Amino acid sequence: MDCVVGVGSSLTRVVIDDIPGDKSISHRAIILGSLSDSTSIFTHFLTAEDCLNTLTIFQQLGVPIQRDGATVMMTGVGLNGLNAPANILDTGNSGTGIRLITGVLAGQSFSSRITGDASIQRRPMKRIISPLKDMGARISGKTIEGKSDIYPQLDIEGGVLHGIRYRLPVASAQVKSAVLLAGLFANSPTVVEEPELCRDHTERLMQGFGGHLTRHGDEIHLIPGRLANPTPDTPIRVPSDFSSSAFFLVLGALRVPITMTGIGMNPTRNTLMDVLIRMGAAVTVTDAAGDAFEPHATLTVSPSSMHNVDVNGAEIPFLIDEIPILAVAALFSHGTLKVRDAAELRVKESDRIAAIAMVVRAMGGQIVEYEDGFDVSGPVAIQSFDIDSHGDHRIAMSAIIGAVASGVSATIRNCECIRTSFPNFFDILNRIVDPPVFLVSDPVT
């Protein structure tokens, strides 16, 4: 399905109160809710394909889960209550789903198989398989000619695990979470050393459910033990996804004032906001609040003259998913955006550094690629363009925002991938844009 952006769009100021629930937290809500000894009700759950696949997988593993729109009601079966699935488990397009669920499956008393779509079958899995094998897991996968990693489908022979001390070689919330989830089933404590802090949704929710998890400096200590929701009759609201709000945060900084309510403000997730403010964006935070698990707030952003900055080091893990839209913002800003230490982008849904370069060049900009980043200079006179997202939702949405912000016409191909993370993206966008952005099922020629 292709997306078509018309030339000369006019934009209207809006208040957005329906940014969908956080994808990372929605995944973890299903996983940890399933492993608890209690019932849980989660509201504002992300009803996108990625998270619905995780929900379906735990239903296949025997967890009673019901969904009414964005409300999920579930009865946890405890750490020892999952059942062997009758079929291969399918995570669709979700790297988070396959890596975290593999950590859970490694500690079961049964064998299982897990896979995903064509994109997932090209995602490297050795990063989780190596520490899980150190814990005693038995996991095998496919090899790809010319590559040295392991890829899905993964065959997992469940069994007894033991705790380990593991130092993350790179900042990765997925690897950290896979090890911690496996650690729940181990016969001894697990310690994860985290040289660089990365998103901590797993730790927050695990602690909220009574898990024996503590942090000591850069070490996370987990003692295996039961999980239970302390307030089973009180709904837990999943905050709106900061990564989804990022597209409209940038549009607001470039073209039209925008206010968004209920946005997740986990400090390991909202670094893009800090970078945009450093670039000169006018962003205000109001109605800041927190609950048992995650903080949230209202964000208001207005168009500003911005200048590009350097982004590297400890900031990268906190905005790895937002780098594509940051690169688009760089085309409208003065000076050079220099991104380094972001080699992780090479193994996302696509090689995102190469994909970012494709978008920048198609829009009329220049980019210098490095193995772990790139340089983009601005401002640029944006030109009309036609690109293929190659099924990467963040590349597709970034290109769309770039076209809308500049007022040029554009065709972005293969946009059906957007619903994997942001099912109402076009509904929100078209409350701002006139004429509306539209989707066509027949290829545009």
Q: Report CA-CA distances (Å) from 320 to 159, 208, 315.
A: 34, 26, 9
DSSP at 298: E
Cα 215 → chain centroid: 23
Active site residue 386: no
- Those residues whose C-beta lies under 8 Å from the C-beta of residue 31, and which sit 6 or more positions away, are 54, 58, 100, 101, 104, 181
Where are the extended beta strands (E) located within 185-268?
Answer: 190-193, 212-216, 219-223, 236-237, 258-264
Query: What Å distances lie between residue 370 and 307, 312, 341, 343, 374, CA to CA?
Result: 21, 13, 10, 9, 5
Closest CA to 322 of 304, 342, 307, 306: 342
**What distance, in Å, lies between the first and last C-alpha atoms of the chain?**
13
Q: Of 321, 372, 375, 388, which is the active-site residue?
A: 321
Looking at residue 342, the DSSP 8-state letter turns out to be -
Where are the strands (E) in 314-383, listed by range?
A: 335-339, 367-370, 373-378
Which tokens hold the place of 239?
């905050």
Q: Which amino acid is at 268?
A: T
CA-wise closest residue to 105 among 169, 209, 36, 31:
31
Using the structure block, give the residue that is written with the tokens 């955006």: 337
**Both structure tokens of 10:** 């006019």
Helix (H, G, I), strand (E, B) or coil at 63: coil
Sign of the CA dihedral running 374, 127, 195, 277: positive
Asked if 285 and 265 count as a contact pair (C-beta separation under 8 A), the reply is: yes
Give bridge partners of residue 214 from the DSSP assignment: 221
3-state helix, strand, coil in the chain (%, to 5): 35, 25, 40
Residue 323 and residue 376: Cα distance in Å, rounded? 12
User: E strand or H helix at 67, and its extent?
Assistant: strand 65-68
Residues carrying an active site annotation: 321
